[in-house]
Structure 1
């Protein structure tokens, strides 16, 4: 291990390692005044890759500008001069990852799911107002305090409209995470606020059913389904979910961005006022889109434009080629 308990980095003393991912390691540490922080340090070898370095720099750039009760706050940034490694010190959150709530494969309660979804709507709406699209909404990037407060984190894949749009085209970094990525991201587009709406809808599906909306033998198979298929009924998997909530999640997940909620506050409005949701109208809209795109065929490809088989081959091929490629667009 590169760092050991007791070592001091930029005024922070490491207490213990609390997590490790593809991008780096996270330690619990204390500042000189005793404040606990989460110290995030990237893997040295990854910083040699221009795309990975761009992602890390993007996270620093974006995270420092965000001050919201549902976003993990950056305390400071710095450099370990001894090893020439940058670090990010974040506020310590007493709790755990939302992913930990789902490891059993069982759904969360309906009330808890709605609460988490509504809090994320507020955090993401704040980001969107600043011109920031997260693009990697997933349970692994969300902390939950013991009081049930959501803390969104990891802005390494975000798109900042006021800056050059640098995208590392790797499955977990730029395109998003296969279980939750929007169809337009699968197709190679950068996405916009509605891409975050889709990803939150896909995550809400998992909170309410215990399983992500799509399954496949590999990441590319899951990605293809976001473009071509439609998720199963939520109510058939969880009878505690009412029709209005199911239709709200389905609207967030419509494949055509124009047919989704156009903002997080639109989604927030319906999530927090389910008694006012016209579920029959939403269901009829969904059926109408299904009918117009499939001409009465199976409803396995609904809510958006029809996608021919040859197009799906192209989409999956592009996604496969994109892995590990750096795309820089201004």
Structure 2
């Protein structure tokens, strides 16, 4: 049985992989690099600790919720090959290695994307979201921390797909409950209890793209209430942040409309968003 404390470089896991190093950690999982014949370019082992679930049955339910991601195949979404639950409730997920650091890493280094690069990144991510949503799946918590690449927008890959909505379902939170996801990127309806959806994925994306272009979120405030109140009003086009980086007016307008507090004012789906984004610089 695997234990986090024993996962050191060189350790064999699952009978066919070898740990290379710890890649990243967050509040709900730890990710390790793997070597194995199935993945000549490397793989990743993601571990979700048992305390997230409280019981073996809940851990199993979480794993089952993520099984559709094993069959999903899209170049802009990290593919999975295996899900497993240990007797102690530790959940293991094996997937392809993603390229480069996260978008958040580039942002932290002060690197901003040009309008053309924002368009390019958005189109690539929308390709993945359109396929996901067409398959009845949602990412549920899209943000710079889950977009990885080597600096070229066409290399971008989304990770951690389905984790937030699967936790939502596993913990029996129901159709409406407290916000699950990242408040800065979530649409206003999630603050009042709506579950993650295809629409919230698009709102997440619009926020992410605006931040990647300007270095700033389109919202004021740092706390839950302040952010919620800021989101009651559609972001203004031609903001100081947008002017400072010469954000293309068409792109600025599209992103602001995609962040409207009223769902009916936003792009209806990933296909519509993609169509408008493709024309935003013309």
What band does the TM-score fall into relative to the shorter chain? Answer: 0.7 to 0.9
Structure 1 CA distance, aligned partners of 2:131 and 2:276?
18
SS across alignment from 2:193:
coil
SS across alignment from 2:43:
strand
Q: Is there any run of 5+ residues in structure 1 with no aligned partner, and where? A: 277-330
2:279 match: 273
Q: 1:238 aligns with which of 236, 242, 247?
A: 242
Q: 1:38 aligns with which of 44, 63, 79?
A: 44
Does residue 9 of the first structure (1) align with residue 13 of the second (2)?
A: yes
Structure 2 counterparts to residues 297-308 of structure 1, below 5 A? none
TM-fit CA distance, 1:190? 2.1
Is the Cα contact below 8 Å between 2:233 and 2:261 reproduced in 1? no
Structure 1 CA distance, aligned partners of 2:28 and 2:170?
21
1:57 match: 63
Q: 1:129 aligns with which of 131, 134, 141?
A: 134
Does residue 153 of the first structure (1) align with residue 159 of the second (2)?
A: yes
Structure 2 CA distance, aligned partners of 1:17 and 1:272?
38
1:138 match: 143
Is the Cα contact below 8 Å between 2:76 and 2:124 reproduced in 1? yes
Structure 1 CA distance, aligned partners of 2:185 and 2:12?
38
SS across alignment from 2:82:
strand
Superposed CA offset, 1:214-238 (max 9, x none): 2324234323422x23335455323
Is the Cα contact below 8 Å between 2:233 and 2:260 reproduced in 1? no
SS across alignment from 2:67:
helix
TM-score, with structure 2 as normaliser: 0.83
1:284 match: none
Q: Is there any run of 5+ residues in structure 2 with no aligned partner, and where? A: none
Q: 1:93 to 1:259 in 2, by over 3 A?
A: same
Is the Cα contact below 8 Å between 1:195 and 1:257 reproduced in 2? no
2:195 match: 190
1:313 match: none
Q: 1:22 aligns with which of 6, 24, 27?
A: 27
Does residue 264 of the first structure (1) align with residue 270 of the second (2)?
A: yes
Extract structure 1 runs of 4+ deviating beyond 6 A. Answer: 49-52, 168-171
Is the Cα contact below 8 Å between 2:242 and 2:252 reproduced in 1? no
Structure 2 CA distance, aligned partners of 1:199 and 1:51?
31
CA RMSD for the aligned pairs? 3.0
Does residue 102 of the first structure (1) align with residue 111 of the second (2)?
A: no
Q: 1:98 to 1:89 in 2, by over 3 A?
A: same
TM-fit CA distance, 1:257? 0.8
TM-score, with structure 1 as normaliser: 0.72
Q: 1:218 aligns with which of 209, 220, 223?
A: 223
TM-fit CA distance, 1:117? 0.8
Is the Cα contact below 8 Å between 2:140 and 2:200 reproduced in 1? yes
Is the Cα contact below 8 Å between 2:62 and 2:170 reproduced in 1? no
